Amino acid sequence: MSPRVGFIGLGAIGTPMARHIARAFDAVVWNRTAATAQRFAREHGATAAGSPAEVVVACDAVITCLPTSREVGEVLAAAGEAWRPGGLLIDATSGDPAGSRGHAAWLAERGAGFVDAPVSGGTAGAERGTLTVMLGGDEPWISRARPIVSAYAAKVEHVGPVGAGHALKAVNNALLALNVVAAGEGLAALVKLGVSAERAVDVLNASSGRSNVTEHLIPDRVLTGAWPRTFSLALLDKDVGVALAVLADTGVESGVYAAVKRALEAARAVLDPGADHVEAIKAIEARTGARIRSAMRQTG
Ligand code: NDP
């Protein structure tokens, strides 16, 4: 029988992920702002629950997609004794490994399971159902989680015990942040030398320094002047903080990750709180005086 799946956290990426869940399973949703869950239920044939406890009682497995592991802990506690033996929490939040181990232990005391299952691929990947999912946890919970997260994924990989998925996701996002900052600063210098940003990006993308940032984010968002808000700079900064903790916990010294964290913090200080992660390049433009964005559409 197909499992009944709960989804908690209908934000920028949670909503398109939950759409795939509602297509594949009998879905029950909850969101802190209740109107969002009610609208989602109406539009996608899901049930809107009145509380996290109602979701846990109604479902075989519950997916959370919240800002940090702290909010996941709040939702876990809010559901409290609704957790029963055999229940499963699949945490799609980009959380922190230590928090995840705590959540797993809390659930294990109640006979329930925890799998960390952060995603990569952005809101566009979530819309298409082509996300990469990094699973951390133990059997039999992993085997139960895999067909559920496959509803929105093109690649599902079990990478280690509880917390390993969150650790891998944090390192991934630190690399994303590094690429945003390094490409932004490098392009600022090139523009000041008189090289057009469009031409520089075109050449980088036929050279060994290319990345997802130079191939997609800068051409689609910076050079077009579109600046969409799909993944906040605040959340990326949180992820680099998690990566720094992962390195510290494992005794790996790095000046690079700390420098990237400082660069994101400096960008946040001059941008508005809702800024997208790519807008860190706006902050680099502001402090260097270089205009990387296209001269065609000077927005923001
Ligand atoms: P958003 O800020 O768009 O959404 C956050 C969600 O969490 C909303 O549903 C919000 O509810 C809910 N929420 C916030 N605080 C609480 C709380 N205290 N209690 C209960 N619910 C709460 O974030 P995203 O959807 O962008 O990100 C979610 C997670 O996914 C993050 O960990 C992020 O790092 C990760 N991620 C995001 C990607 C992206 O492209 N956006 C890509 C990959 C991972 P409400 O509607 O009431 O505000």
In tens digits, what is the pLDDT along the chain, a chain of 300 residues?
789 999 999 999 999 999 999 999 999 999 999 999 999 999 999 999 999 999 999 999 999 999 999 999 999 999 999 999 999 999 999 999 999 999 999 999 999 999 999 999 999 999 999 999 999 999 999 999 999 999 999 999 999 999 999 999 999 999 999 999 999 999 999 999 999 999 999 999 999 999 999 999 999 999 999 999 999 999 999 999 999 999 999 999 999 999 999 999 999 999 999 999 999 999 999 999 999 987 544 444
The residue whose CB lies within 8 Å of the most ligand 1 atoms, and thus the one to mutate among 15, 66, 134, 171, is 66
Q: Is the minimum distance from the CB of 29 to ligand 1 under 6 angstroms?
A: no
Q: What does the block give as tokens for 217?
A: 């984010």
Give catalytic residues, as residue numbers.
169
- For the CA of 32, the closest atom of ligand 1 is 47
For ligand 1, atom 30, name the residue with the nearest CA.
93
CA of 19 to the centre of ligand 1 (A): 15
CA of 34 to the centre of ligand 1 (A): 14
What's the pLDDT at 59?
98
Q: Is the minimum distance from the CB of 230 to ligand 1 under 6 angstroms?
A: yes
What's the pLDDT at 290?
96
For ligand 1, atom 8, name the residue with the nearest CA.
11
Tokens 């000041």 belong to which residue? 192
DSSP the chain: -PPEEEEE--STTHHHHHHHHHHHSEEEEE-SSHHHHHHHHHHHT-EE-SSHHHHHHH-SEEEE--SSHHHHHHHHHHHGGG--TT-EEEE-S---HHHHHHHHHHHHTTT-EEEE--EESHHHHHHHT-EEEEEE--TTHHHHHHHHHGGGEEEEEEEESTTHHHHHHHHHHHHHHHHHHHHHHHHHHHHHTT--HHHHHHHHTTSTT--HIIIIIIIIIITT-----SSBHHHHHHHHHHHHHHHHHTT---HHHHHHHHHHHHHHHHS-TT-BGGGHHHHHHHHH----S-SS----
Name which of 169, 111, 102 is nearest 135 in CA terms. Answer: 169
Q: Is the minimum distance from the CB of 94 to ligand 1 under 6 angstroms?
A: yes
CA of 43 to the centre of ligand 1 (A): 20
Q: Is the minimum distance from the CB of 214 to ligand 1 under 6 angstroms?
A: no
Q: Is the minimum distance from the CB of 93 to ligand 1 under 6 angstroms?
A: yes
DSSP 114-164: EEE--EESHHHHHHHT-EEEEEE--TTHHHHHHHHHGGGEEEEEEEESTTH
Q: Is the minimum distance from the CB of 36 to ligand 1 under 6 angstroms?
A: yes
- For the CA of 94, the closest atom of ligand 1 is 32
For ligand 1, atom 7, name the residue with the nearest CA.
66
Q: Is the minimum distance from the CB of 73 to ligand 1 under 6 angstroms?
A: no
Q: Is the minimum distance from the CB of 67 to ligand 1 under 6 angstroms?
A: yes
What's the pLDDT at 52?
98
- For the CA of 120, the closest atom of ligand 1 is 43
CA–CA separation, 191 and 146 (whole Å): 47
CA of 32 to the centre of ligand 1 (A): 10
User: Is this structure's pTM higher than 0.85?
Assistant: yes
Backbone angles phi, psi at 157, to 5 degrees: -125, 130
CA–CA separation, 15 and 280 (whole Å): 25
What's the pLDDT at 293?
87
What's the pLDDT at 300?
44
8, 72 in Cβ contact below 8 A?
Answer: no
Q: Is the minimum distance from the CB of 122 to ligand 1 under 6 angstroms?
A: yes
